[in-house]
Amino acid sequence: MGSTSSAARESARPATTDRRGAVVAALMLSMALAALDATIVSTAVPQIVGDLGGFSVFSWLFSGYLLAVTVTLPVYGKLSDTFGRKPVLVAGSVVFLVGSLLCALAWNMGALIAFRVVQGLGGGALQGTVQTLAADLYPLKDRPRIQSKLSTVWAVSAVAGPGLGGMLAAYADWRWIFLVNLPIGAVALWLIVRHLHEPGREKRTHARVDWAGALAVFACGGVLLTALVQGGVAWPWLSAPSFALFGTGLALVAVVVLVERRAAEPIIPGWVWRRRTIAAVNLALGALGLLMVAPTVFLPTYAQSVLGLAPVAAGFVLSVWTLSWPVSAALSQHVYRRIGFRNTAMLGIGAAALILFAFPFLPYPGQAWQPTLLMLLLGAALGLFQLPLIVGVQSTVGWAERGTTTASVLFCRQSGQTVGAAVFGAVANGVLAARLGGASDLDSVTRALGSGTAPEATRRAIADAVHAVYFGASCAAALAFLVLLFLAPRKFPVLGD
């Protein structure tokens, strides 16, 4: 009996040690592609619009991609648990690369948006399956090492994306933003095909894919996220399109629940929310996505408009958290081995709440080093928060449930960011309207500042708006702390490797 269980554990290794380095390199390349593509287009928008037109709908270059990534995460998570990680990652990589090639060949803005959605359909497989394979490859004691590497790749790629996109658009052609994915993605795909060998498992001859549930989840997520992304931008919140989308989304939620309850192998199984540990981590990382909107979206505007920094210097103020986040994440294992996953995460998010709360008390106009120091500390706090939760929750499930669990965590974090962008955008615009009168919004005000025509009162109004957003982000961090305190078990039910 003992030898049988030992053999079973040994067979659970998805790659031999000598191949693992090549697989990890492929995972890091795939993660870099997914992270870059979420941001690399932003600085090339003027060149793209000048070539293709379609200024009124260019925001869908970002929204379409992110929506496709978010709503497909649960589907790919379930598919990887059913058929294995390798076929899902290979198929997702192919779809992503095909989408990249099509984007480079786009002939108008409508085609480019459609092909960005195709990219997103592949990007969802990259994000979820890479994180799941990272847990498959390493035993619990070594998982912080690979997760910190992926965190570093994600952070650096996300920050470097706008600069790289601007360089390619200025010195080459905007189409190279998408063509550059092809050789990188091809190398990652080749490494996966050649070196990733998953163990022989019991064949699931009766495994059925819940296509009805997948379609319902995709439709529901797409409608609700579209309502959040476009509300207050393309149309007012209290308008017929908003009411129609939210009403349709709520109806589709009921459809998803009905379909999933009847499915033999649902895309979103009920145990994801019935298990305290997974439910708590989902909610806590949803709050993380919410609070991350404050620095990533609003800090660059604050740095340029209030502090008067150039775009490059403003980018540096934001990017410093990419230095402290992975270092803190890598060191977090020494903390959670002593006090546990939950307490370590609570320590990190509690510190993050205090740091975010301190931002509104910065002097006006202040010095650049002040928000830079806060961002450095915030990165360290969030590294101590996120990685223990991801490593911990992945360690509470076996191979057959790890893909679904990881996808649910990432889905909640992505959804939190979408909700945060909508909520904090409304908060910022509301503060500006109150300070300046009329229907002022952040976009129009920052454009006025760029032209050098805005008075000092406008800069103060922007500072107040960003301070309000940071206060909201501190509340989101406090909410995550309370979720972990009252919902998460004190000790995660970790399974043996």
Q: How far apart are the first and last CA of the chain?
A: 17
Q: What's the pLDDT tens digit per position in 403-459?
A: 899 989 998 998 888 888 888 888 888 888 788 776 556 666 666 555 555 577 788
Strands (E), 217-317: none
Contact 260, 211 (CB under 8 A): no
Res 271: pLDDT: 87
**Dist. CA 234–CA 243, nearest whole Å:** 14
**Dist. CA 305–CA 450, nearest whole Å:** 8
Res 298: pLDDT: 85
**Dist. CA 148–CA 160, nearest whole Å:** 18
Q: How many of the other CB atoms lie within 10 Å of CB of 336?
A: 22
Where along the chain do its domains lie? 17-196, 268-496
Res 260: pLDDT: 83
Torsions phi, psi of 235, nearest 5? -155, 160
Predicted TM-score (pTM) of this structure? 0.84
In terms of Cα–Cα distance, which of 14, 34, 7 is closest to 154? 34
Average pLDDT, the chain: 83
CATH class of this structure's domain 17-196: mainly alpha
What's the CATH number for 268-496?
1.20.1250.20
Lookup result for tokens 């402290």: 324
Contact 449, 301 (CB under 8 A): no
Contact 76, 407 (CB under 8 A): yes
**Dist. CA 121–CA 480, nearest whole Å:** 29
